[in-house]
Amino acid sequence: MTKRILPVLAGLALVAGLFVALSSPPDVLQGDFVRILYIHVANAWLAFLAFGVTAAASIGWLVTRRAGYDRVAASSAEIGVLFTAVTLFTGMIWGKPIWGTFWDWGDARMASTALMFFVYLGYLALRRATPDRVARARRSAILGVIAVVQVPLVYFSVVLWRTLHQGLTIRPDSVQMEPEMLTALLVNVGAFSVLYLALLVARVRLARLEEAMEVHEEAPAGSAVTAPRLETGP
Amino acid sequence: MSRFWRQALGVAKRDLLVEGRAGEGIGIVLPFGALAIFVVPLATSGSASLLADLAAPVYWLVTLLFGMQLALRQTATETVPQRRLLVLLGLDPVARFVGRTLSASLLLLGLQLVLIPLVILFYEPEPVPAPVRILPALVLYSVGLAMLGTLAGDLTVGLRTRTALAPMLAAPLAVPLVMGASQSLISVSQGDGILTWTLLLVATDLALAVAGVVTARPLEETAT
């Protein structure tokens, strides 16, 4: 049931997100380019969430050794890498008209996000390189816990290093954004959250099938054939 | 001396002894790093000002890449039966992590100290910082890189793709170390204070030490 409803919900939410993003007012300084914000920021937040889920599920695996946690951790990391790639790409196409450059090496947020991307690419590479299921789960769980340190570093990089990126716009004590823009942003964050959930459920299901296939392939030849019973029981 | 430190020093001593006999770091990685420093100017126009500008980036790139090679050297990697034996002998996995970090730190510091004169000789950077003032940054950088190399090595032990995978895991996490050490060098050259960058190096080293201690036992299971 969930596997059918969630993709439909995600599609509807994304259409709603697109509508509010296009109908929100243009920025005084940035004009229509500000609309990239609704995808860029939503993807960045979802990437943080995805890597947070990876870390939590990794801890879950280390404590309980249940395969389900490993599947969630790996699936969430894959989706997080996808969201981070979209964040980097949209940031670059936003940066060119506004800052005059696709990439600024002095900007701490850009550099730290790219590093986070590479750390999680390494996480995925480690999983691919480890054939044994339990060893793969253990190694990636350890890396999943270590790698999550990058998330607060990326988030607070604009506070720690005052560079090209603006500071935190939305804080517990103040929001430096027009209400219509904030609504559009929150709708898009919600839409991408549903998309994340739909992708996670689908990827976890796929991971379960992949594992079942691995187990099937590992079974020795002829193990499915049972010997004929020559005697009948009493 | 406590049992823990006896074990840690024993591991470090053994690693250095094996390195001394095999010469993997001193005989192979170090000359290879020196060659890299020598090759870069051949790919440029040879302009003195360009080479002076390239000195620091080339130095940090070479110390990072070849430092990882040094930390992940084959002679410091036990086979699965050797690891099982160490577990049976009661070797504390944290002591093993500390010992391995100690030996790799010494080798990494040696690599850096050998490469600095080569960079000065071939690239002629101006101004050259006083060696005594940059030593704390180099030591903290070496210790951090050694811990990272040890962690990455343990995460990838026994994998076919280890030689490529371990540096890939470690390099992005080494960036705060490279930043701290390189900015310290720049600050010293310009006569500025290095407190902020030293703190960054200390914080990164502490975070890596905590990660190493916490993950030592699960990583031991991985290797055995």
Type and span of the H or E element at A178: none
Mean pLDDT of A163-176: 70
Q: Is the pLDDT of residue B111 over 80?
A: yes
Residue A107: the pLDDT is 82
Q: Is the pLDDT of residue A140 over 90?
A: yes
Interchain contact A160–B (C-beta under 8 A)? no
Percent of chain A topping pLDDT 70: 87
Interchain contact B75–A (C-beta under 8 A)? no
Interchain contact A119–B (C-beta under 8 A)? yes
Q: Tell me the pLDDT band of B125, cut-offs 50, 70 and 90.
A: confident
Interchain contact B195–A (C-beta under 8 A)? no
Q: What is the pLDDT of residues A68-109, one digit of tens each?
A: 999 999 999 999 999 999 999 999 998 888 888 898 887 888
Which chain A residues are Cβ-neighbours of B160 within 8 angstroms?
129
Residue A217: the pLDDT is 76
Distance of CA B44 to the CA centre of its chain: 28
Query: Rounded to whole angstroms, how far apart are CA atoms A185 and A215?
Result: 44
Q: Is the pLDDT of residue A155 over 70?
A: yes
Considering A46-60, A160-174, B182-196, the range whose residues carry the highest mean pLDDT is: A46-60
Q: Do A135 and B222 touch (CB under 8 A)?
A: yes
Mean pLDDT of B66-86: 83
ipTM: 0.81
Average pLDDT, chain B: 88
Residue A168: the pLDDT is 67
Distance of CA A142 to the CA centre of its chain: 18
* DSSP, res B160: T
Which string of b and e fits A92-114 if b means at least 16 CB within 10 Å?
eebbeeeeeeeebeebbbbbbbb
Residue A80: the pLDDT is 96
Residue A132: the pLDDT is 87
Cα of A141 to nearest chain B Cα, Å: 10
Q: Tell me the pLDDT band of B104, cut-offs 50, 70 and 90.
A: very high
Taking alpha carbons only, the member of B184, B149, B161, B174 closest to residue B72 is B149
Q: Do B155 and A119 touch (CB under 8 A)?
A: no
Q: Is the pLDDT of residue A37 over 60?
A: yes
Q: Is the pLDDT of residue A227 over 80?
A: no
Query: Rounded to whole angstroms, how far apart are CA atoms B172 and A213?
Result: 34
CA closest to B156 among chain A residues:
A126
Q: Do A135 and B169 touch (CB under 8 A)?
A: no
Mean pLDDT of A186-211: 94
Residue A223: the pLDDT is 64
Total-model pTM? 0.84
Residue in B165, B207, B218 nearest the CB of A126? B165
Residue A219: the pLDDT is 66
Query: Rounded to whole angstroms, how far apart are CA atoms A197 and A194?
Result: 5
Interchain contact A62–B (C-beta under 8 A)? yes
Residue in B160, B169, B211 nearest the CB of A126? B169
Percent of chain B topping pLDDT 90: 40
Which chain B residues are Cβ-neighbours of A116 within 8 angstroms?
172
Other CB atoms within 10 Å distance of the CB of residue B163: 13
Residue A27: the pLDDT is 81
Q: Tell me the pLDDT band of A226, cut-offs 50, 70 and 90.
A: low
Residue in B168, B215, B218 nearest the CB of A125? B168
Q: What is the pLDDT of residues B140-176, one digit of tens each?
A: 999 999 999 999 988 988 888 888 899 999 998 898 8
Residues 6+ apart with CB under 8 A from B174: B64, B68, B144, B145, B148
Q: Do A129 and B168 touch (CB under 8 A)?
A: no
End-to-end distance of chain A based on CA atoms, in angstroms?
47
Residue B224: the pLDDT is 61
CA B46 vs CA B57, B116, B128: distances in Å: 16, 20, 20
Residue in B160, B168, B215 nearest the CB of A122? B168
Interchain contact B151–A (C-beta under 8 A)? yes
Interchain contact A152–B (C-beta under 8 A)? no
A100: left (phi over 0), alpha (psi -120 to 50) or beta: left
Mean pLDDT of B205-220: 90
Residue A32: the pLDDT is 85
Q: Tell me the pLDDT band of A232, cut-offs 50, 70 and 90.
A: low
Q: Is the pLDDT of residue B76 over 80?
A: no
Residue B192: the pLDDT is 81
The domains of chain A, with CATH numbers, are 2-216 (1.20.120)
Q: What is the pLDDT of residues B18-62, one digit of tens each?
A: 988 988 888 888 999 999 999 988 888 878 888 888 898 899 999
Q: Are B96 and B154 in contact (CB under 8 A)?
A: no
Percent of chain B topping pLDDT 70: 99
Tokens representing A147? 């790698």
Q: Is the pLDDT of residue A50 over 70?
A: yes
Cα of A152 to nearest chain B Cα, Å: 14
CA B170 vs CA A105, A107, A122, B129, B174: distances in Å: 21, 22, 9, 28, 6
Which chain A residues are Cβ-neighbours of B222 within 8 angstroms?
135, 138-139, 142
Which chain A residues are Cβ-neighbours of B151 within 8 angstroms?
146
| B83 vs A206, higher pLDDT | A206
CA closest to A161 among chain B residues:
B196
Mean pLDDT of B178-187: 88
| B129 vs B59, higher pLDDT | B59
Residue A26: the pLDDT is 85
Interchain contact A149–B (C-beta under 8 A)? yes
Residue in B159, B165, B172 nearest the CB of A118? B172
Which chain A residues are Cβ-neighbours of B207 within 8 angstroms?
149
Q: Do A118 and B151 touch (CB under 8 A)?
A: no
Which chain B residues are Cβ-neighbours of A143 within 8 angstroms?
155, 169
CA closest to A138 among chain B residues:
B222
Residue in B155, B171, B172 nearest the CB of A139? B155
Residue A4: the pLDDT is 82
Q: Tell me the pLDDT band of A39, cut-offs 50, 70 and 90.
A: very high
